[in-house]
Amino acid sequence: MFYQYQHFGSSESFSKEYGTNFNFPLHLHQSFELIVCSAGEMEVTIDSSVYQIKKGEAVLVFPHQLHALSSNESEHILCIFSPELVKAYINKYASRVPKNSKFFLNQYLFETLQSIDEECSSFEKKGFLYSLCAEFDKTTDYREKTKSQDHLLYKIFDFVELHYHANCSLDILAEKIGYSYSYLSRYFKRMTDMSFNEYVNQYRISKACHILTNSSSSVLQCAYETGYNSLRSFNRNFKLYTNMTPNQYRK
């Protein structure tokens, strides 16, 4: 599972995955994100809006929009791509975001999404993505971005991404970016509806799931790689967020 906080810059990055029963906490990044439900039902939160999407339905998340995914029984295709691949589109709507992020993928777009991958040429990717954006553009209106402290939230997410495997402390972050611990703690709770420590644990467990699925690392190694000094603490948190033990998850 490649899903992570991808910070695309000027490179023409494109990633795609298939998955089931996917949950990921509130986050943001610099890329577009397309989530297509291929079976069952998913709940996707984007900024303050909550979307229920069923088979054939999709949402398009713009760069720097807060979003979260939740599902107990679904299949999906998830695509993350750099704004550089649709430069004309993002330039047109640089100061705006969609009022409604939900739309329906027609048969052509759905089949093309299934066939395209990271190995395709830049022209193939751009052709598909511009067609996708054109279809999305038909179904939504746009609003001006609201001025907020999202930049601070981005700094917090970025800190977790870079330090989750080590000492990922709110004290260290507060000193690093010049805010008080108490202010950051209250701010993060207000913006994400969870504590900083809860978010770090969710992020670490999502990384652990990736390691267990895609490597032969032992459970103890996985715990250390994701910032846990205690196997007991790792197992407890893993079961809390996945409802199974690490060994059960790997099987």
pLDDT given for residue 70 in this prediction = 87
pLDDT given for residue 155 in this prediction = 85
**Is 172 in a helix, a strand, or coil?**
helix
Q: Is the pLDDT of residue 206 over 50?
A: yes
Amino acid at 41: E
Q: Which option is the CATH number for 150-250: 3.30.1340.10, 1.10.10.60, 2.120.10.30, 1.10.3720.10?
A: 1.10.10.60
Residue 226: CB atoms within 10 A of its CB come to 22
CATH 1.10.10.60, the chain: domain bounds: 150-250
Read off the tokens for 200.
Answer: 């770090």
Tally helices (H) and strands (E) across the chain.
10, 9
Q: Is the pLDDT of residue 148 over 80?
A: no
Q: Is the pLDDT of residue 3 over 70?
A: no
Query: Any idea which of 114-123, 196-205, 207-216 has the lowest mean pLDDT?
Result: 207-216
224-237: pLDDT as tens digits: 999 999 999 999 99
pLDDT given for residue 147 in this prediction = 57
Q: Is the pLDDT of residue 215 over 90?
A: no
62-110: pLDDT as tens digits: 988 888 888 888 999 999 999 999 999 999 998 899 999 999 999 999 9
Q: What is the mean pLDDT of the chain?
A: 88
- CA torsion 147→153→154→158, rounded to 10°? 170
Q: Is the pLDDT of residue 209 over 90?
A: no
Q: Can you tell me the distance from the alpha carbon of 162 to that of 6, in angstroms, rounded to the nearest whole number?
A: 12
Residue 64: CB atoms within 10 A of its CB come to 15
Burial class (CB in 10 A: 0-12, 13-18, 19+), 72: exposed
Which helix or strand (DSSP H or E) is residue 127 part of?
Answer: helix 122-139
Q: How many CA atoms lie within 13 A of 18 on its CB side?
A: 8
| Phi and psi based region of residue 224 (left: phi greater than 0; alpha: psi -120 to 50; beta: remaining) | alpha
CATH 2.60.120.810, the chain: domain bounds: 14-144
- Greater pLDDT, 140 or 11: 140
Please report, rounded to a whole number, the percentage of residues in the chain having pLDDT higher than 70. 94
Domain 14-144 has CATH 3.40.30.10: no
pLDDT given for residue 27 in this prediction = 77
